[in-house]
A and B are shown apart, each in its own frame.
Chain A
Amino acid sequence: MKIREFSADVLIIGGGLAGANAALGAADTGASVIVLEKSNIDRSGDIGGGVDHFMAYLNTNSSWDTEDSFLSYVEKIGRGTNHLGHIQSLYCAELPAAIERMARIGNPLTQPDGTFYRTQSMGQPGPLWINFNGKLLKPKLGKAVRKAGCKVFGRTMTADLLTRDGQVVGAMGYHIRTGSFFVFKAKATIISTGNTNRLYENPRLNPFNTWLCPYNTGDGQMMAFKAGAALTNMEYMRMTILPKGFAAPGFNALVGMGGRFMNSLGEYYMEGSHPLGNKAPRYTVVFNTLNEIRNGRGPVYVDCTHLPGEKMRHLQSTLGYDKDTLPDYFEQRGEDLANKPLEIMVSEGMQAGPTEVTGSGIKIDGEGASTVPGLYACGDSADHNRCVHGAITGGYKAGKSAAAYALKRRLGDSPSAALVQETVDRFVAPFYNNNGTPYRQIEDAIRKIMGEHVGPARTEMGLKAGLEKLAKLEIHMDDIKVDDRHDLMRVNETRNLLSVGKIMASSALFRTESRNKPYHHRLDFPETDDKNWCGLVVVKQRASAVDCSFERIIYHDK
């Protein structure tokens, strides 16, 4: 098999919001850039179809609108999950340039009249969400990335990283339509493949009906892990609140405008249970909503019927910004926000950060560098980057850092033919299974195990049982059979889902306390123990096992 080889200073794996900004950061620093993307950077990732919110402080005259106030908020909702210095470097220092860059590429965060429309929810000290129309953000970013001279390989799934002497030196790619393989040599590599979805049982039945992109399956985290990189915050299983039958985002928009959570007794259950009521942190709203449902007080709703006309008009006219198809869904289902409460549901679980400002995944420093030389990470696949604001700021920062690293180094030799062949053989093996299980059956089992044993209420015995079951299931991974190139991509995703699941369960078992419940809720250790557990569970691969250690975080309490 003839395999073509390409090289660049910086290789970016994943062309979503973080990866596209990383590409711009690297190109602006003077590096040559290759972007690998499973689909098409114009519409890929969590915000491919659109987005409507960006978190920012704008240094107006309000006390809540400053960097200090923002970092206090980060500490308050994410204590023990992030180093504030990293957040300062990856987000705060990059924020003004990020807002300017979005305007420059043609998708400003402002309203048509030039003002910022700001709303408050999720424990924020003031209205830190900027509400904007980001329906064309991805196509505009894609155009900017190409214009900056970056070479984009679409429909190219990364088969594995290439390493030499403990450094990451590139990756191998697989074209999901032609079945061709490629070698990409690079001086620095950035992973920006998003969080892990399709990992937990889906309350809306179809595992692809997810809040975040169902094609993000932890591919980058698992590549990095195998290459020796540390991961953190993997014990947190993120959940959110979504419309009942369609996992479309909208929580920010509905609650930011003044929506009220209501149970089937007509009680507004968030009001009085938290000082911020409906605007409490996301994990608190999810925790209380789960309690309502467990106690038989479902179905649950978000009630917007009291909103004044102007707010309702803004809400209805902007609902499709975050999910283009949400207005169609409401129409086809017969929902009418102005006249009846909207039925909602807790989402599926996922591997993702424990707050809006803390990530989960590849451990990075304030430069976006992982613990492996030559490997960087950003966006939802990194532990100190999250959400739209994190991807745009931290992505660009990682791009600049990786480029600065790369420009000081020489390109290495090509990988050996034997290594290349081994990677290809491993990847295509499911094609040559004559009999076997479809990937979907194995995935369903992963989701069932994760939902029942590594979910929003955990115990030592349950987590150990979950790990045993995942290990048993792993034996059957080699039996998966696929018939076409598309499913070969999917089966690789299935492998990553199982690996992420094992790591999540191992981290959750290690952390014998609860934090940001229900994202990590140990029924056998129900309290948050800041004395012993204010910090990160660091996960590394050791002799193909998962090795956990603890990294304390020191806060300078004021």
Chain B
Amino acid sequence: MPVTFDLDKCDGCGTCDSICPGDVIFMHRPKLVESPDGSGVMVKITEERLPFGSNLNKRAPYLPRPEECWHCGSCRQDCPTEAISIVFSPEMLCI
């Protein structure tokens, strides 16, 4: 992932989503749905590909199309909780 989020630091404000010039970052809002086991219990689900272990009690950013990131660093500059790191892909670092 070109942009990685420290979800312990992220407060779910959505600044990164709002300013990303490529519409590459989206905020995920967890949904309450009935458990598929038929027990009638409501459970939180992730509709999208959130990092493993994400806290589902708050909104969290994710990149559905990481290949479209320009690596401009705007999200990191504007993140109020410094939760963002830029990680370059192997081909960018090795060719």
The residue on B at minimum CB distance from A440 is B67
- Stretch with Cβ within 8 A of B (4 or more), from A257-265, A324-332, A414-422, A545-553: A324-332
Which of B65, B67, B92, B95 is the most central at the interface, judged by chain A CB atoms within 10 Å of its CB?
A: B92
Docked-complex contact A244 and B95, CB < 8 angstroms: yes
> Known contacts A332-B93, A333-B88, A333-B93: does B23 contact A325 (CB below 8 Å)?
no
Docked-complex contact B20 and A325, CB < 8 angstroms: no
Docked-complex contact B21 and A40, CB < 8 angstroms: yes
> Known contacts A208-B22, A486-B23: does B78 contact A43 (CB below 8 Å)?
yes
Docked-complex contact A208 and B68, CB < 8 angstroms: yes
Q: A139 to B19, alpha carbons, bound, how many Å?
A: 10
Whether a CB of chain A sits under 8 angstroms from the CB of B47 is no
Contact with B along A131-157 (1 / 0, CB 8 A): 000010001000000000000000100
- Stretch with Cβ within 8 A of B (4 or more), from A4-12, A71-79, A210-218: A210-218
Q: Which residues of chain A in 19-56 are interfacial with respect to chain B, using CB atoms and an 8 Å cutoff?
A: 38-40, 42-45, 48-50
Q: Which residues of chain B in 26-78 are interfacial with respect to chain A, using CB atoms and an 8 Å cutoff?
A: 65, 67-74, 76-78
Docked-complex contact B21 and A324, CB < 8 angstroms: no
Docked-complex contact B71 and A245, CB < 8 angstroms: no
Q: A206 to B94, alpha carbons, bound, how many Å?
A: 14
Whether a CB of chain A sits under 8 angstroms from the CB of B86 is yes
Whether a CB of chain B sits under 8 angstroms from the CB of A502 is no
Q: How large is the interface on A (under 10, 10 to 19, 20 to 34, 35 or more residues)?
A: 35 or more
Contact with B along A309-337 (1 / 0, CB 8 A): 00000000000000111001100110000
Which residues in A have their C-beta under 8 angstroms from that of B18? 40
Which residues in A have their C-beta under 8 angstroms from that of B86? 325, 328
The residue on B at minimum CB distance from A216 is B21
The residue on B at minimum CB distance from A210 is B70
Name the distance in Å between A441's Cβ and chain B's nearest Cβ.
Answer: 14
Among candidates A176, A245, A324, A489, residue contacting B94 with C-beta atoms closer than 8 Å: A245
Whether a CB of chain B sits under 8 angstroms from the CB of A195 is no
The residue on A at minimum CB distance from B92 is A245
Docked-complex contact A214 and B23, CB < 8 angstroms: no
The residue on B at minimum CB distance from A328 is B86
Whether a CB of chain A sits under 8 angstroms from the CB of B8 is no
> Known contacts A329-B92, A332-B87, A332-B88: does B20 contact A246 (CB below 8 Å)?
no
Docked-complex contact A246 and B19, CB < 8 angstroms: no
Q: How many residues of B are in contact with the other chain, CB < 8 A?
A: 26
> Known contacts A48-B74, A214-B70: does B19 contact A42 (CB below 8 Å)?
yes
Which of A42, A44, A49 is the most central at the interface, judged by chain B CB atoms within 10 Å of its CB?
A: A49
Name the distance in Å between A460's Cβ and chain B's nearest Cβ.
Answer: 34
Which residues in B have their C-beta under 8 angstroms from that of A49? 72-74, 77
> Known contacts A205-B91, A245-B94: does B22 contact A39 (CB below 8 Å)?
yes
Docked-complex contact B69 and A43, CB < 8 angstroms: no
Docked-complex contact A324 and B77, CB < 8 angstroms: yes
Whether a CB of chain B sits under 8 angstroms from the CB of A204 is yes
Q: A99 to B71, alpha carbons, bound, how many Å?
A: 29
Whether a CB of chain B sits under 8 angstroms from the CB of A233 is no
> Known contacts A43-B20, A43-B21, A215-B21: does B91 contact A245 (CB below 8 Å)?
yes
The residue on B at minimum CB distance from A248 is B71
Whether a CB of chain B sits under 8 angstroms from the CB of A360 is no
Which residues in A have their C-beta under 8 angstroms from that of B21? 39-40, 43-45, 48, 213, 215
Q: A333 to B95, alpha carbons, bound, how many Å?
A: 10
Docked-complex contact B91 and A324, CB < 8 angstroms: no
Which residues in A have their C-beta under 8 angstroms from that of B70? 208-210, 213-215
Name the distance in Å between A318's Cβ and chain B's nearest Cβ.
Answer: 15
Contact with B along A182-214 (1 / 0, CB 8 A): 000000000000000000000011101110011
> Known contacts A48-B72, A246-B71, A328-B86: does B22 contact A214 (CB below 8 Å)?
yes
Docked-complex contact B72 and A324, CB < 8 angstroms: yes
B interface residue numbers (CB < 8 A to A): 18-23, 65, 67-74, 76-78, 86-88, 91-95
Query: Which are the 3 A-B pairs with shortest beta-carbon distances?
Result: A324-B73, A49-B72, A43-B74
A45-B21, A209-B71 given; name 4 further pairs at CB < 8 Å.
A39-B23, A205-B95, A244-B95, A324-B77
A interface residue numbers (CB < 8 A to B): 38-40, 42-45, 48-50, 135, 139, 155, 176-177, 204-206, 208-210, 213-215, 244-246, 248, 323-325, 328-329, 332-333, 486, 489
